[in-house]
Structure 1
Amino acid sequence: MKIKITLFAGLLFCTYSFAQQKDSIKSAEKLSEVVVTGQLEPQSIKKSVFNVRVISKEDIKQLAANNLADVLNQYLNITIRNSGSDGRSTVSMFGLDSQYFKILVDNIPLVSDTGMGTNVDLTQVNLDDVERIEIIEGSMGVTHGANAVTGILNIITKKGGNHKWDISATVQEETVGNEYSFSDKGRHIQSAKIGHNFNNNWFVNVGGNHNNFEGFYDNMKGKDHYATDGLRGYSWLPKEQWVGNAMLGYQKNSFKIFYKFDYYGENVDYYSPILVPQDNYPFPETYFTRDKRYITNRFYHHLNANGKVFSKLNYNVSISHQKQERDAELFDYQMETQKESNNNRFTYQSKEVFYSTGALSNFFNNKKVDFQLGYEITNENGFYSSAAGTFLDNQLQSKDVRKRLENYDIFTVAEISLTDKFSIRPGLRYSFQSAFENQYASSLGLRYLFKKGLEARASLGKSYRTPNFDELYTYFVDSNHNVQGNPNLVPENSTSYEVSFKRTCSFDSGAQIANNLAVTFLDVNDRIDMVLVELPGKYQYININKYKMWNISTTEQYAYKNWNVKVGAALVGISQKLDLAQLNISSDDKFLYSLQLNSSVSYNIPKWNTLLALYYKYNGQQQQFAAGTDENGKAKFYLNEIKPYSWMDASARKTFFNNKFEVTVGARNLFNITSVQITQGNGGASGGAHGSGSSELMLAYGRSYFLKLTYNLNFN
């Protein structure tokens, strides 16, 4: 690890030295790259006090990404957690899970099973109508409220088009590991979009997408495997998704308004490996299985208006209504006839959210001072059926859980340019909570522009995370499990510090070099963890963990003629302190370190209208203390380790017929990663009660290949 860090630090030092020795250096402001996330109004990325990372639609196209999980695998400080058992993919940043990272669509938090903008299944976020993705690392609690602790990701959707008619259709075929067929193996995607500008004021966009993931067999034999050998079913469950969206917009002068509707539907099928015999004497014995189907439906409405009031003040107001329902359908599957019977479908989880946010800015006729006053309203209605068997209300298992969580927030942000080079940005939010004590968030951002294009930024942020539905109300107790929620949980509080330096330089030769160095420290108090509170094996969510993290990351980008090269590195140190007074044990709070490296190389061949790209990411060893029992049955902490692994993707994209027809071919996961080993200390949390061991963490389904065909028909 030390060798890799030294080499990369040397590369960074040499790059800066080389850039500073050239008299022909010119600062490149990249004014065309405009960002909106966390800003008082849209502005160039250089003017932003925040260190904003942008994923362009070209990056998305080059990866042939259909959902958010396809994109984020290659980015520093971000780890994707996949689960073949339920088909979900979630994001982890700085070692903290998806409860601390907020995902938004046009600044509206996306509803999920247990959160609002958090714990989002990345495979359920379609990217067909995305213009770009903006990521800000660190605390964003002032502008984006609860749970924006490690950062936010804002998906900016396409609004309007460049032509009177924009029409496109896409077909994508992809292998799942080495498995593929047109009928029952692989991944099959179809999508279509139509955009129409009626005139200079009105526009409409309509689109749809169908994604059929046929599951990953691996060593399993599928749903019609007729044997009592335990091999019926799939290693990764089959999943079928439908997406529909529409947007209607109007703009005139400074006034803009749009209404956006999204529908998402998903079926996930579980096929039991256990065949149940039926006695048909005197005829031969027959078999059936008890299978399940999980059905998700999500409806998303968003109305946004922005413009000027009193010919001076800028306003931006959004109103959103979202509803997500998850149904379970239990049925018997007759193996001989391949027919379902005794189907029983019920809604076991739902969430309905009313959300609104808005802000006024531009209070002063002074370009050096700006001020924003805003509000946020969130009203969540959550439901979990007692038929799900994992939730409890008022200690009565026979009751359903119905809970309402509300918050009413006000926030204010000022942006002050003390000079043309030096800006400061203080902010404050106060949140009135229905289920917890009222919370607040604060921040202070600084930006200074040095000579020769060097930009320096610093920020301090205090934020909070509120407990989610699972942590408050989970109850899962049987002969093998005892996991209980805790309605007495309190919100977590966090403080983050970040310093970053950025420089973009251009040379007379046409070459460009961009450098970005950031150092971050995060301190989380009262962190919620599921911990062992009683022997044997009773776990409960408790505010018990102290969490500290520091991160140093750097990215370098080189562009010359048709070449574009990016390299990056991030070193993360994590310290956690768990003090289980009930069991009279404490964990070690020393810092545990993990290294990530990434790089990408692309080459454009104008003569052939072809772009070649290669992406690589190294995920270093990860360590974490976990509670378990020793050989005598006594509670003890052990150090678990996830072994390092690497990920590589490659693609080639070529256009034909004046860019009307586009072909993308490539491969994901070239190193054929399927799982990574977890080594556990003696009696570790998942290593058993009386022995050391190791297990496998499933990451992917191996190397896969894709072919994507897109036809664009644009005319005026």
Structure 2
Amino acid sequence: MFKIYLCIATLFMALDSQCQRDTLKYIDSIEMAIQLGEYVHTAQYKPTHIKKALHPIEIITAEVLEKRGVTKLDEALLLVPSVRFNYDPILGTQLKLRGISSSNVAILIDGIPVIGRLDGAIDISQISLNNVKQIEVIEGPLSTIYGNNAAGGVINIITNQNQRKRWNLNASSQLESIGTQNHLMDIGFQSKRWYVNSRGRFNEYSKYGIDSLRTTEKFSNADGTTFTRNKYPWNPKTQIGGGTTIKYNLDLENSIAVKYDFNDEEVRDYGSIKRPQFKPYANDEFFLTRREDISIVYDGHLFNKLYVEFTSAYNQFDRKVNNKRYDFEPMRYDPEKTISDTTIFRTFFNRLNFSTRINPSLELIAGLNYTHDVGMGDRIKAENEGMEEATISEVAVYADARYTLLKGMTISYSGRWLSQNVFGNNYASALKAKYDIGDDISLRASYAQGYRSPDLKELFIEFIDINHYIIGNKDLQPERSNDFQLTAQYDPCSWVDAKLNVYKTFIKDKISLVQYGNQKYNYQNVDRYDVYGAQLDLGGSWSALNWNLASSLGYWNTNINIEGTSEQGRIVDFSANLNYQIPKIKIGTSLNYRLVGTQPLYTFENEEVMISTISSTDFLDVSLNRSFWKNRIQIVTGCKNIMNTTQTAITGAAGGGLHGTSGSQLINQGRSYFVRLGVKF
């Protein structure tokens, strides 16, 4: 498959070979655009410098990822103290942003939503970091821009859309002692009119043999009870992905880009041996996932003053589960005892943005968004009998007005009106303000409404087998939220940058998975969920030293079915990052520490709130990097999870949730030594 992409890229290069002589002017313009500084794409309707953005944004650059030896999105977000993860051997890595679950956090790639939520969340370990320019993290509702799934925040992965050199080759291989290998390669071409990039990815985890993976052990809880689980609970996994981007520059201000990406994943869950003394067998499960994303984007200026961006995308997510019986005496799978089920989600996404500056003080922005979601498969039961698929269609119109009241002060009011075929009409609005006090101090304040309608799985799922009984709820109502934020930033010089953020978010009619009978679950609206707190971020650079300290204090509350006062949990997070370039030997060092404080775990059983506590954990990573041959070759080596943290205890009324393990929760595969070799030409 990757060879096909290389052939496509080569074809376009050949077609454009006649443009070589007048490429220099375009390349100079591209390099100037690359060096303009930290431009952000999220929370704005067009690329904007981070200092002018009305919403605070966290940026993680590709250079930082390379020097840390990062290969997965969860590792990239590890140093953001407001981000927490839940690891599941089958469902993958799920996240919380500032105490708000994954169902309310939009995961985007170049502004296009990533689909395929399992158990309400995107498995972010399936998202490739190949050809990534930067990752932008926005906390708080962005529903007026991105609609559904953005009431808690947005994580937007920005890929490269141009390059400085005519030819560009990036390749890297990373091996880890826990049994992981990750290989990336992309080749790019830039001419006067064309930018072409083709990329491929191979990632595999397979530390233990199949016989070891079938072994079980008994574990003891703190209260003396015991339970049995796999001795090696992390399932082997293989991911293969690739893609191509073709961008054509109509002129210096207008371009059209076509992009295609795919990712295939296989997770293998080998069961324990049954009836070992007589015709032994085991029940194995194979989870096959395929993602395909196709998009076309026009970006540019019309009539000199009107900035236009049009995006049209098609996304498909296929999830197939094969249950097979392995007979040990003939040493083969029994074809007559294989059960398969497939779930398919498709999304048609279209967005049109307009932006124009009326005068130096007033800027107007407007847009139109159309989304059509389709779900089908054995576990998706359509609302009407006889229908093979369930659908949700949404049309939204949004607008934003920004006005500069006086020097350094800008206010913005935005609104989004949507009409949906299932839940009717809704209007959400946001008010933001930014005030620069001189060159060193910036103040940002915002109030924003959030909105999330139930997805197809929450409405129509019917997942019934020996281990599960989960039913959708067609009577669910949309979630609505209100968010308040105040941010103060002080950066008097390059070696000091301080930022304080205070926030509060209310979510009404929160959708949760609720137990309504003996081992029976469905989705219900469960009153209100609140989060509030403060985050402090300190950082800077001095000579060859870069440092950052970040801490977060939050409170997560629920008053579901609780009379009187609400139950709340205090959450403390901390991260530290230190980078130093040793001048004489030119070796870069990186030290990263993350403390994940205790947190409450809310489950709902038989109309009662069950509150447990997930114990605190901490992680420490260290890496060394060295470049050779004019930065064409880079070697990175180090150790992840030096303290060998693998799981955390769960104490209290509940025991880990539907997919968790009673008394404990898996969080990491353990200490890992790694080495990475990268080549750039």
Query: TM-score band (shorter)?
Result: 0.7 to 0.9
Change in Cα spacing, 1:481 to 1:195, as seen in structure 2 (3 Å) is closer
Q: Shift in Å at residue 537 of structure 1?
A: 5.3
**Stretch moving more, 554-563 or 601-610:** 601-610
Aligned to 1:158: 160
Q: Shift in Å at residue 545 of structure 1?
A: 2.4
* Native 8 Å contact 1:221 1:232 kept in 2: no
* Native 8 Å contact 2:603 2:657 kept in 1: no
Equivalent position amino acid for 1:156 in 2: I
Equivalent position amino acid for 1:263 in 2: F
Q: Does 1:697 align with 2:665?
A: yes
SS class of match (1:148): coil
**Stretch moving more, 342-351 or 375-384:** 342-351
SS class of match (1:58): helix
Instruction: Work out which of the residue numbers 296, 300, 305 in structure 2 matches 1:312.
Output: 305
Deviations 1:423-467 (A, max 9, x none): 001100011111113122110110000025100000010011111
Q: Does 1:350 align with 2:344?
A: yes
Q: Does 1:513 align with 2:496?
A: yes
* Native 8 Å contact 1:327 1:345 kept in 2: no
Match runs of 1:54-69 below 5 Å: 54-69=59-74
**Stretch moving more, 288-297 or 316-325:** 288-297
Aligned to 1:632: none
Match runs of 1:139-150 below 5 Å: 139-150=141-152
Measured in 1, the distance between the counterparts of 2:463 and 2:638 equals: 43
Structure 2 spans left out of the alignment, 5+ residues: 1-34, 218-227
Match runs of 1:568-583 below 5 Å: 568-579=550-561
Aligned to 2:593: 616
Q: Shift in Å at residue 608 of structure 1?
A: 2.5
SS class of match (1:374): strand
Structure 1 spans left out of the alignment, 5+ residues: 1-29, 177-185, 279-284, 580-584, 630-634
SS class of match (2:560): strand
Measured in 2, the distance between the counterparts of 1:317 and 1:486 equals: 35
Aligned to 1:414: 401
Deviations 1:510-537 (A, max 9, x none): x520000000110111111223445x55
* Native 8 Å contact 2:476 2:525 kept in 1: yes
Aligned to 2:14: none
Measured in 2, the distance between the counterparts of 1:437 and 1:560 equals: 55
Aligned to 1:245: 243
Q: Does 1:101 align with 2:105?
A: yes
Equivalent position amino acid for 1:106 in 2: D
SS class of match (2:422): coil
* Native 8 Å contact 2:216 2:231 kept in 1: no
Aligned to 1:47: 52
Aligned to 1:655: 627
Could you say what the CA RMSD is over the residues aligned between the two structures, in angstroms?
2.8
Aligned to 1:183: none
Q: Shift in Å at residue 88 of structure 1?
A: 0.4
SS class of match (1:61): helix
Aligned to 1:596: 573
Match runs of 1:704-715 below 5 Å: 704-713=672-681
Equivalent position amino acid for 1:139 in 2: P
Measured in 1, the distance between the counterparts of 2:187 and 2:47 equals: 27
**Stretch moving more, 523-532 or 311-320:** 523-532
Q: Shift in Å at residue 52 of structure 1?
A: 1.1
* Native 8 Å contact 2:462 2:472 kept in 1: yes
Aligned-pair identity in percent equals: 24
Measured in 1, the distance between the counterparts of 2:282 and 2:509 equals: 45
Aligned to 1:427: 414
Equivalent position amino acid for 1:513 in 2: V
TM-score, normalising length: structure 2: 0.87
Instruction: Work out which of the residue numbers 125, 133, 136 in structure 2 matches 1:134.
Output: 136
Q: Shift in Å at residue 276 of structure 1?
A: 4.9
Q: Does 1:303 align with 2:296?
A: yes
SS class of match (2:272): coil
Aligned to 1:210: 202
Instruction: Work out which of the residue numbers 77, 87, 107 in structure 1 matches 2:82.
Output: 77
Aligned to 2:93: 89
Measured in 2, the distance between the counterparts of 1:661 and 1:338 equals: 47
SS class of match (1:46): coil
* Native 8 Å contact 1:667 1:706 kept in 2: yes
Aligned to 1:267: 266
* Native 8 Å contact 2:40 2:47 kept in 1: yes
Q: Does 1:642 align with 2:614?
A: yes
* Native 8 Å contact 2:309 2:352 kept in 1: yes
Measured in 1, the distance between the counterparts of 2:470 and 2:455 equals: 15
TM-score, normalising length: structure 1: 0.83
Match runs of 1:178-193 below 5 Å: 186-193=179-186
Deviations 1:155-182 (A, max 9, x none): 1101122111111221111122xxxxxx
SS class of match (1:607): coil
Aligned to 2:476: 489
* Native 8 Å contact 1:79 1:93 kept in 2: yes
Instruction: Work out which of the residue numbers 525, 535, 539 in structure 2 matches 1:557.
Output: 539
Match runs of 1:406-555 below 5 Å: 406-476=393-463, 482-506=469-493, 512-533=495-516, 536=518, 538-555=520-537
Q: Shift in Å at residue 647 of structure 1?
A: 1.3
Change in Cα spacing, 1:394 to 1:701, as seen in structure 2 (3 Å) is same
SS class of match (1:519): strand
Measured in 2, the distance between the counterparts of 1:378 and 1:309 equals: 26
Measured in 2, the distance between the counterparts of 1:392 and 1:256 equals: 42
* Native 8 Å contact 2:516 2:605 kept in 1: no
SS class of match (1:126): coil
Measured in 2, the distance between the counterparts of 1:686 and 1:214 equals: 26
